Structure 1
């Protein structure tokens, strides 16, 4: 595609035909039957699961399991992507349920192999097999042995897998369906009149919290929080059930040390590493408090309100830079190409294969994500593009994820995904490259606006996410131990906000209901610290890149990305000279943020 073609590109929908052309066709039915045939073949392998199984037999089972996983990922990936494109579609929802049941059945019927390797195979023979298989599988298999002590019996694991679909999984789907269908009314004062604007897409509403107009920001937040407050009874009860089920299974049944330990071990990280990260974030809350005080001065305010958190450093609507979709795409591709030609080539592939859904429309899932169906296929990217600078950054961010995935495409499906702490390594780096590129063509005033927006994003992806995790730790504790009410959880969240902002921001009581608006709390408990981890890590990597230059840095950086989930994070990063076991490492990231704040102050008129 030519440069002109990119600059004139319009928002649109993705094409899912690379996955499934027609789910009602005989071809799709035949595809699903092939999964059943391989599954039956895999089940017959029970008879060779002995202590003295040969490495050849063992590796053969790994490859067969990979093939089954690839196929169900394609079928399930199609179902979910189709549903995300239109959450109101009953047909799409039914297909998701059908594929989730099939995936659960596959999990149950292949579970014997996982439990055999983790619980029945002795250490000597486990090490013999691990050392005999190709290197790419070894860390994955070692990690399986690490979590072995948290596994249950085969019948118990089957019950948990089965109930997940109709239990917590179903409740979370209700949360998604409810929230994607919310309608919002924003009340704006225009002279003596109150003008009402209705929104049926949350992303369009949320874009208003970055409006240059303070009344618009306040009205948008009030509308958002009021809708969630009104629905907090149901949404809060769903969260209570998530927290109780998480603790019952993790601690009472499996024996994890704490609810967050489940996520840490899944991320192949030690508890002490995550504790050091969160402690460092807590100690550095004053860094962003300093920024918010400075931002209030730039806005001509005595103190920021929570409504003003993401206010641009301007009072003129004309100063808010807008991008066409084509211009945004071209800016991102040019940025990637300047860093490394391969970065651009991989990103272009996503566009050329029409794997992007970028338009805003009713019933489409909000936010943005990159979805890798299998490592052999080009990832899919969902956006809700509205033309703001942050939407361009989001585009760069999600395409960073896509590039990360494609660089690891040679890996088996079971080890291709980077663990959560490393999952943002390419996405946030891509954003930083973009911001630097955009700043080159800007005036001092525009650079100040961009830098403020960048620091806003750093707050949102570092401090905000760390405090989300700190909230989850406390919320899970009081719900499980004290049967805390929804109102009590809201109070904990409000105290969390007061701690992270100190006296730098005025917070109104309506924000105590913000937590029911955060989908990560429902979908993936304790997920969000990975954003803090990833962003602070990227700040260190970016500084290294600027010091070393491309020729030295790029090969090491690509090696990190291409490793996917095949290496333990601590070991992989140590090879690049990064020791995440030291608290000083995390402090370097906050020192960089402080430097950015000082730069912002120097640009103020």
Structure 2
């Protein structure tokens, strides 16, 4: 394992010798293969044999894998340094090429969706093995597909349209630097370092950190606000007006292969349980030593909290792997691959993408993890989160690339579960004082990943609705302030400057309505963890089975096979019952 200062990933498993000549050769090979595949267009018939049909699906798999390999490399290289003109140019080139390949293969997708009768569709689906649900899903979304020429136009324009807007937003905001007065000294830093200051013990430092962040976005609201409005309008124009989806959020729901009702029920339960977190924040005010928290103090540490430990990257890695190993040596082995193969980028660098993520360009290649590791305990939990994603991918690595990725709501389950295992491991090794601090952090995380993300989604629902009626950037900020008031009630004082906070949330730009997947995944993970606590080792195989399914089954169907009915509010409420108990337990420490 490399030491902290050298923490840059190795992308050789995707592309060795990444010269222009190498990419020219790979692009030419994929282009030739896709042109050969396109010649099958005249042979497509509803009554074709299952053998020929599966042969075409395997060709699609092969082309998809080769495209994903170079596309994955380009995306990761850009994340490694978003300010690199070379990386930007490569990403643009590969994105443009990917669009061209999609267009060449589009005829098969449209044929399957619209030109195969139900009887033959059932026959071909029955003989498709693990791809059966994938084919069923394709038929489901058929009514939202356009004609082949229209789909080609959309694929082509997306590269210079909505995808370009997202890249511009990233390029602008990742270049932001923030000047903050920390204990009498002015410091300039990036957002990742700035974010650690919102947990500083000094209330003036917390306020200064938030003001520095929000002021920067407020000063640039004209540009980044306009970008957001255009993304939302593009989402409406294509999704609602052209494709005929019912609501903006339905586009994401169908993409996730979950029912509108399931998400509506979950969001309603989250909204109903806002008082659980409000009670916690009122309790936290006493621990922080103030009469009432300000929004600046949301993640403030307790005055009585033990000194925060710092963990080297090696120490953090050991904690994460030990926690997984206590649950299942097999799961821990899946996680170890990321470190052993140097597929993790964890050092702090200017221009590197903010936040953290796990990327799996191909099922059979160990996933890649990016994290901005500063050594705080929260970073160890972030590491556990992203390694959980990697574990999910490795568990499903034997699935076809067409079905290996779990839909977004399920994709957050393993990541959250890994955090719960880490907390369970660490909490047994520390004092009551440290435990109180960590439990408070844990509830903070439940708010951030369940309460906050659900209200983010409720904001998006309203923002998309209002932007369609032509509103200003300030109007969007007013919608956001109202949303904050609803989720916090009277438990927290909210200053006017937080109105612009919505523009700081990359998910709103990258993938509208993505945020509810965190609420879904966290509540689901809490429920699964409770089952594990009750059943012990007998539950390990059930958990592994859920992960190994990848995206091969509809979430409602997959979970129902294991006795979990996610269409009922009772299921989601059980997660909040657990959180409420954690809040009550904290009050006793």
Question: Quick one: which of 234, 245, 249 aligns to 1:260?
Answer: 249
Task: Indicate the residue corresponding to 1:196 in structure 2.
Answer: 186
Moved more, 121-130 or 509-518: 121-130
- 1:512-554 deviation line (CA, Å, top 9, x unaligned): 010000000001001100100110001100000000001x100
Cα offset for 1:555? Answer: 0.4
For the residue of structure 1 that corresponds to 2:250, the secondary structure is: helix
Task: Indicate the residue corresponding to 1:244 in structure 2.
Answer: 233
Q: Does 1:538 align with 2:528?
A: no
- 1:112-131 deviation line (CA, Å, top 9, x unaligned): 10000001111111111101
Moved more, 47-56 or 493-502: 47-56
Q: What is the alpha-carbon distance in structure 1 between the residues aligned to residue 42 and residue 125 of structure 2?
A: 20
The answer to whether the Cα contact below 8 Å between 2:289 and 2:302 also exists between their aligned partners in 1 is: no
Q: Which runs of 5+ in 2 are unaligned?
A: none
The answer to whether the Cα contact below 8 Å between 2:197 and 2:205 also exists between their aligned partners in 1 is: yes
For the residue of structure 2 that corresponds to 1:370, the secondary structure is: strand
For the residue of structure 1 that corresponds to 2:362, the secondary structure is: coil
Question: Quick one: which of 540, 543, 554 aligns to 1:554?
Answer: 540
Q: What is the alpha-carbon distance in structure 1 between the residues aligned to residue 7 and residue 429 of structure 2?
A: 28
- 1:330-374 deviation line (CA, Å, top 9, x unaligned): 111111111111122111111111101000110000100000010
Q: What is the alpha-carbon distance in structure 2 between the residues aligned to residue 499 and residue 146 of structure 1?
A: 36
Q: Does 1:495 align with 2:482?
A: yes
For the residue of structure 2 that corresponds to 1:196, the secondary structure is: strand
Between the two proteins, the alignment pairs up a number of residues equal to 589
* 277 and 11 in structure 1: CA distance in 2 versus 1, 3 angstrom threshold: farther
Q: What is the alpha-carbon distance in structure 1 between the residues aligned to residue 20 and residue 152 of structure 2?
A: 31
Cα offset for 1:391? Answer: 0.2
Question: Quick one: which of 298, 323, 326 aligns to 1:338?
Answer: 326
- 1:92-129 deviation line (CA, Å, top 9, x unaligned): 10000000001000111111100000011111111111
The answer to whether the Cα contact below 8 Å between 1:208 and 1:216 also exists between their aligned partners in 2 is: yes
Q: What is the alpha-carbon distance in structure 2 between the residues aligned to residue 499 and residue 29 of structure 1?
A: 54
Q: What is the alpha-carbon distance in structure 2 between the residues aligned to residue 246 and residue 198 of structure 1?
A: 36
Superposed, which structure 2 residues align to 1:485-524 within 5 Å?
485-524=472-511
Task: Indicate the residue corresponding to 1:596 in structure 2.
Answer: 582
Cα offset for 1:500? Answer: 0.1
- 1:48-99 deviation line (CA, Å, top 9, x unaligned): 1112111111101100000000001000111111111011110110000000
For the residue of structure 2 that corresponds to 1:197, the secondary structure is: strand
The answer to whether the Cα contact below 8 Å between 2:4 and 2:346 also exists between their aligned partners in 1 is: no
Q: What is the alpha-carbon distance in structure 2 between the residues aligned to residue 171 and residue 457 of structure 1?
A: 30
The answer to whether the Cα contact below 8 Å between 1:10 and 1:326 also exists between their aligned partners in 2 is: no
Q: Does 1:312 align with 2:304?
A: no
Task: Indicate the residue corresponding to 1:77 in structure 2.
Answer: 72
The answer to whether the Cα contact below 8 Å between 1:10 and 1:325 also exists between their aligned partners in 2 is: no
Q: Which runs of 5+ in 1 are unaligned?
A: none
The answer to whether the Cα contact below 8 Å between 1:11 and 1:385 also exists between their aligned partners in 2 is: no
Q: What is the alpha-carbon distance in structure 2 between the residues aligned to residue 441 and residue 90 of structure 1?
A: 47
Task: Indicate the residue corresponding to 1:145 in structure 2.
Answer: 139
Q: Does 1:220 align with 2:209?
A: yes
Task: Indicate the residue corresponding to 2:49 in structure 1.
Answer: 54
Question: Quick one: which of 371, 381, 384 aligns to 2:359?
Answer: 371
TM-score by length of 2: 0.98
Task: Indicate the residue corresponding to 1:573 in structure 2.
Answer: 559
The answer to whether the Cα contact below 8 Å between 1:212 and 1:315 also exists between their aligned partners in 2 is: no
Q: Does 1:187 align with 2:181?
A: yes
The answer to whether the Cα contact below 8 Å between 2:347 and 2:373 also exists between their aligned partners in 1 is: yes
The answer to whether the Cα contact below 8 Å between 1:11 and 1:325 also exists between their aligned partners in 2 is: no
Question: Quick one: which of 176, 193, 205 aligns to 2:170?
Answer: 176
- 1:396-447 deviation line (CA, Å, top 9, x unaligned): 0100000100010000001000001100111100000001111111000000
Task: Indicate the residue corresponding to 1:120 in structure 2.
Answer: 115
The answer to whether the Cα contact below 8 Å between 1:137 and 1:566 also exists between their aligned partners in 2 is: yes
Q: What is the alpha-carbon distance in structure 1 between the residues aligned to residue 125 and residue 535 of structure 2?
A: 37
Q: Does 1:96 align with 2:91?
A: yes
The answer to whether the Cα contact below 8 Å between 2:358 and 2:387 also exists between their aligned partners in 1 is: yes
Cα offset for 1:22? Answer: 2.4
Q: Does 1:37 align with 2:26?
A: no
Moved more, 494-503 or 32-41: 32-41
Cα offset for 1:28? Answer: 3.8
The answer to whether the Cα contact below 8 Å between 1:213 and 1:315 also exists between their aligned partners in 2 is: no
Cα offset for 1:602? Answer: 0.6
* 93 and 27 in structure 1: CA distance in 2 versus 1, 3 angstrom threshold: closer
- 1:481-502 deviation line (CA, Å, top 9, x unaligned): x201100000000100010000
Q: Does 1:208 align with 2:203?
A: no
- 1:559-598 deviation line (CA, Å, top 9, x unaligned): 0000000011111111211110111001000000000001
